[in-house]
Structure 1
């Protein structure tokens, strides 16, 4: 039987821990700050575009400020909806050490202290590679999704499957990279469990407000799956 449901329940139960709660607050604050900064840059950029004579000539007099605000709002909301999980997980990479340590301390005392924090340069590298994987895999999925548009739900299923694969890997890698001693390809969590975890986190990210919790819940659950395997190996 899959250990994913139990891992998710344990992760949800630990949201009240001070260490996990601190990561949640910090990661959400930084993620929202990134989107706020990007939104401000978008708004200012639209102002420059709308001041261009050729563009301004197409708009009714005095309509430019309203067009700027409306365009910034629509584009900003769309970007938040489609890119939230990408940015949130990239941000969480910089706090993953704290999530792993908190789960170890509460549930796996025999493994506590064994995780090795990643240097900043390594954290940046992991975050960037994660971003590139998301962009690359979703671009590869576009033609398939386009073919399946006639089925109505086909594109949604395709992108859910792709992002489940990506999320499952990222959420378990947060713990594995801190325990792997250089063997990054040896993630002990099976592909099926990674996919189920990723699908659960992807589903949470579709729910307003729950999407703010989803990255931390996924990271904690992924840590449980990795440490459960490592603990089992240590007992043999």
Structure 2
């Protein structure tokens, strides 16, 4: 399983994967700037009290708060944008490591949109939970950290597995596989959760998580004879 993440990180320079990361960063940066400017303007145009020096202090402190909060949510914005292009990441992994697979299953539009919206909602929710966690972990027992990784590992394992596996199998089959291999998939989700809380690494956590889950899902689908064993092109050249 660790080798799935090693291969995922190693493929980050792949042209198709790199383009998804760059697109996510650019889009998130635009949203970040608009959000920061909008909040800063709202603060500067609002008078809290009639004392100019108090209003000036509030504006300064508010500006710092806007900057910090926007910076903390930047990885979440990046992940949400990247979430709309994860199939491209999975395709790149399959092309490099599992050449010769049959064409992807035709997914109904409602299924694709539903999976993408759920992925984005859980990503935002995870980051909302992680925000106070950075502060509280210094004050609360380690059990809270265990609970955080256990819960979000389960949630992310479901979503990432569905994003990848629904390209190859119908929803009923995907649910059966997910329940049968819940322990292994949970561990993958827990690692993705951990990556999502590491500064700077969290920017590419969605891409790395999708690539790693593609390796795991492909092996499970092969084990259950849902995909042909075409061999793994581990030394394939990057794109």
Query: Could you tell me the TM-score, scaled by structure 1's length?
Result: 0.75
CA displacement 1:115-141 (0-9 Å, x = unmatched): 54674x65443233234446778999x
Partner of 1:73: 67
Quote how far apart the aligned CAs of 1:208 are.
Answer: 2.4
**Residue of structure 1 in register with 2:90 after alignment:** 100
Gaps of 5+ in 1: 141-147
The 3 A distance-change label for structure 1 pair 32 and 177 is: farther
The equivalent position to 2:29 in structure 1, one of 27, 32, 41, is 32
Q: What's the Cα RMSD here?
A: 3.3
Q: Residue 64 of structure 2: SS of its match in structure 1?
A: helix
How far, CA to CA, are the matches of 1:206 and 1:139 in structure 2?
A: 11
- CA 1:75–1:101: 2 relative to 1, 3 Å: closer
Matched, 1:11 2:8: yes
Q: Give the Cα separation in 2 of the matches to 1:136 and 1:199.
A: 15
Aligned residues: 218
Deviations 1:77-136 (CA, angstroms, capped at 9, x unpaired):
4444xxx34x444322211121111111112223253254674x6544323323444677
Show structure 2 runs of 5+ residues with no match.
130-136, 230-239
SS in 1 for 2:216: helix
Post-superposition shift, 1:17?
Answer: 1.6
The whole-number CA distance in structure 2 between the counterparts of 1:178 and 1:60 is 59
Distance 1:150 1:65, change over 3 A: closer
Write the mapping of 1:1-236 to structure 2, written as runs, cut at 5 A: 4-48=1-45, 51-52=46-47, 55-57=48-50, 60=53, 63=56, 64-80=58-74, 84-85=75-76, 87-116=77-106, 119=109, 122-133=111-122, 151-183=140-172, 185-186=174-175, 188-189=177-178, 190-234=181-225
Q: Deviations over 1:32-79 (max 9, x none)?
A: 33333332332233334xx24xx1336625615423422312332444
Q: Deviations over 1:9-34 (max 9, x none)?
A: 12122112212222222223223333
* Alignment CA distance shift 1:33-1:167 (3 Å): farther
Question: Larger relative CO (CA 8 A, sep 6+): 1 or 2?
Answer: 2
- Offset from partner CA, 1:174-226 (integer Å, 9 cap, x none): 21122223437526352112221122122222322222222111000111111
